[in-house]
Structure 1
Amino acid sequence: MSVEVHPTAIVAKGAELGDGVSVGPFCVIGAKVRIGAGTRLHSHVVVEGSTELGRNNQVYPFAVLGGPPQHTAYKGEDTRLVIGDDNLIREHATMNLGTVNGGGVTRVGSNGLYMIESHVGHDCVVGDHVILTKQATLGGHCQLGDYVIVGGLAAVHQFTRVGRHAMIGGLAAVVKDVIPYGSVWGNHAHLEGLNLVGLKRRGFSRESINTLRAAYRLLFADEGTFQERLEDTAETYAGSPEVMEIIDFIRADATRPLCLPDREV
């Protein structure tokens, strides 16, 4: 398949475009950009910096991919943005390059939906099948697992981790880590329960969901210390990979505060 570049588009010398790439009117592509086969830039899209955009992505007008980090320490270093395959990146969405201090790479997975004016900050690591809805914002260094959904106008504070299959409600301000399968909302966000709707949609068995609910009640009960409940939950549900994913997530970074329920579960 041939590459289609509209006459009004500007593609810098050195840019690499794969088979079947379509570059629409008034797009601007920088010299260090690599775009995978089958990707379509609809119009007025800017792809700059050392940006790698995978296969079969759809990028809509006025999205800016690979813009410089919004960080005062950035001095023009050659850092990167790496985006996977089959993403839908809607109007005015922005994804920034990494910073040297943050490892130098912002990574976005595949099969995601990034709605209008959503933002992925520098040095973020975003998994597959993630949805950022309208104006959802990720600060720098955030980590989002697979299948995370971030509601409209929600903001995730820099360095925050959000586990797989978690749901962040609209307008939430998330300043603490969110466990896998959790559902949070509020300003500042608190843990509202498990993302039961998402679990059912993704085919988790009734047994797995019931086990998660029982483990959740034990982990966030009032009795004992949190560390004691964590160990009890790990021992009681050692045979559940979903529960142990939550336990491993919590143990992985003891320096970060954790989103907790604001009432008895």
Structure 2
Amino acid sequence: MKQPLAYIHPEAKIAPNVVIDPFATIDKNVIIGEGTRIGSNVTILEGSRIGKNCNIFPGAVIGAVPQDLKFAGEETTAEIGDNTTIREFVTINRGTKAKGRTVVGNNCLLMAYVHVAHDSIIGNNVILVNSVQVAGEVIVDDFAIVGGLSAIHQFVHVGAHVMVAGGSLIGKDIPPYVKAGRERLQYVGVNSIGLRRRNFTNEQIRDIQDCYRVLFQSGLNNSDAIERIEAELPASNERDEIILFVKNSQRGVIKGYHQNGGKKEE
């Protein structure tokens, strides 16, 4: 159902059962999948690719040109997967020549006033709470939850199954499976409640805790801690993901809280 008061460019490709509310604007070179609803006063600009069964609330702007001085008008995209909810006044900019696209995955929830900048990659089942600000070329992996009013520095990598406290300034990479909080942002434990909700076994959670006790609570630097983890802890998918994350970190990972004078994890 397409309201006559909405503007839809004749070159936009829109599935027949998409609902478009009054005063929405849909530009050329836009694709919108089946079952999606576009709220009133939503603006979907050139280069946007929106999947099936999404719900985009009033005032959102998808596919605006990047707020990046190196952008020179190149053809890029802003891509949203299936079953994702975009709440009021969310802004998602399209990519630059750096990566060519900005991506928000499947089954995500971006709450009101979230901003996702150019070339960022948001995984599947991610929740960005109200007013999270994501700078350019950030990666947020699957099942991460970032608390409201948090700001993520450009090039930061947030790992899978991470829980970040609201109001955080995220300037370092956050490895998978952890909770991060305090000021300055630190490791504050394994996200065991979230992992159990996603059917991780007690054994898997214990293995993850063992890895982070070495990484964050042994007093070793990251390189030596990773060597000990590889030598002493049994191989598992979770262990190997932690090792690869730390080894590949470009900005360095957050510290463990005892390294900043706090007590060790119980």
TM-score over 0.5 for the pair? yes
Give CA deviations for 1:119-175 in whole Å, capped at 9, x if unaligned. Answer: 111000110000000001110000011001010000110000011001111000000
Could you tell me whether the CA contact under 8 Å between 1:171 and 1:186 is conserved in 2?
no
Equivalent positions of 1:62-211 (< 5 A) are: 62-100=59-97, 102-211=98-207
Displacement of 1:184 after TM fit?
Answer: 0.9
The CA distance in 1 between the partners of 2:192 and 2:31, in whole Å, is 39
CA distance in 1, matches of 2:48, 2:219: 50
2:251 aligns with 256
Q: Distance in 2 between matches of 1:197 and 1:191?
A: 15
Provide the secondary structure at the position in 1 that maps to 2:209: helix
Is contact 1:20-1:37 (8 Å) kept?
Answer: yes
1:103 Cα deviation from its structure 2 partner: 1.5
Q: Which residue of 2 aligns with 1:225?
A: 221
Q: CA deviation at 1:9?
A: 0.2
Letter in 1 for 2:172: K
- Distance in structure 2 (CA, Å) of the matches to 1:79 and 1:54: 17
2:14 paired with 1:17 = yes
- Give the counterpart letter for 1:152 in structure 2: G
TM-score for both structures, normalised by structure 2? 0.94
Cα pair 2:217 2:258 within 8 Å, conserved = no
Partners of 1:122 and 1:74 in 2: CA distance: 10
Q: State how far apart, in whole Å, the 2-side matches of 1:165 and 1:212 are.
A: 12
Q: Report SS of the residue matched to 1:263.
A: helix
1-side partners of 2:148 and 2:165: how far apart? 8
Letter in 1 for 2:36: T
* Separation in structure 2 between the aligned mates of residue 75 and residue 215 of structure 1, nearest angstrom: 45
Partners of 2:220 and 2:18 lie apart in 1 by 58
1:75/1:223 CA distance change after superposition, 3 Å: closer
1:213 matches 2:209: yes
CA distance in 1 between partners of 2:192 and 2:105 (Å) = 24
Q: Bigger shift: 136-145 or 215-224?
A: 215-224
1-structure distance, mates of 2:220, 2:165: 30
Q: CA separation in 2, counterparts of 1:188 and 1:70?
A: 28
Q: How many residues align?
A: 260
Pick the aligned partner of 1:40 from 37, 40, 43.
37
The Cα shift of 1:187 comes to 4.0
Q: CA RMSD in A?
A: 1.3
Deviation at 1:68, TM superposition (A): 1.0
Between the aligned residues of both structures, percent identity stands at 35
Q: 2:231 aligns with which of 219, 225, 235?
A: 235
Taking the aligned partners of 2:49 and 2:184, their CA distance within structure 1 comes to 35
- In structure 1, distance between residues paired with 2:65 and 2:56: 19
Partner of 1:245: 241
After TM superposition, give the deviation of residue 239 of structure 1 in Å: 2.1
Moved over 4 A (4+): none
Inter-partner Cα distance in structure 1 for 2:228 and 2:151: 33
Contact 2:105 2:125 in 1 (8 A): yes
